[in-house]
Structure 1
Amino acid sequence: KDFTVQALEPGYVQFYSDPKNPKRRYVGIVFNPDDKLPRAPTDPRSRRFGLIDLAAYRGELKKSRKLAMSLRQNNS
């Protein structure tokens, strides 16, 4: 059979069997190729949100503002 899996995030396709229903096979997407499916129900889910590090962003913003102010004072 030919299966097409569409995902909004990049990842790796894994085929796995659920211990509750060993005759049926499932398809899952994982972000890390070392991850194993199925996961235990108590394990946290891995999610990719595309977030940025705000602390680093704000630090760079402060540096650029200081540089801009020093250039502005030197030009005056």
Structure 2
Amino acid sequence: MPVFISSEEEFIDVARKAEECRVKRIPKKNIAKVKARTKRYLYTYKIQIQNLDALLEKLKSVCKNIVEV
């Protein structure tokens, strides 16, 4: 069962420990789901597509492997 995170700062802290980060864009709803897989849990964070690029810039320095789905 995935764990939902509502804060961007908290998600970035979790992404530091993640093995992989995935991004899934949902254009119909104008949101994107960003997922971070750690050894124990899958963490998800929902964000507006307009704000996604700024978050991805922060994640590139934190997460080793970012995959767009």
Q: What's the TM-score once normalised by structure 1's chain length?
A: 0.24
Q: Which has the higher strand share?
A: 2
Larger Rg belongs to: 1
Q: TM-score, normalised by structure 2?
A: 0.26
More helix by share: 2
Higher relative contact order (CA 8 A, sep 6+): 2
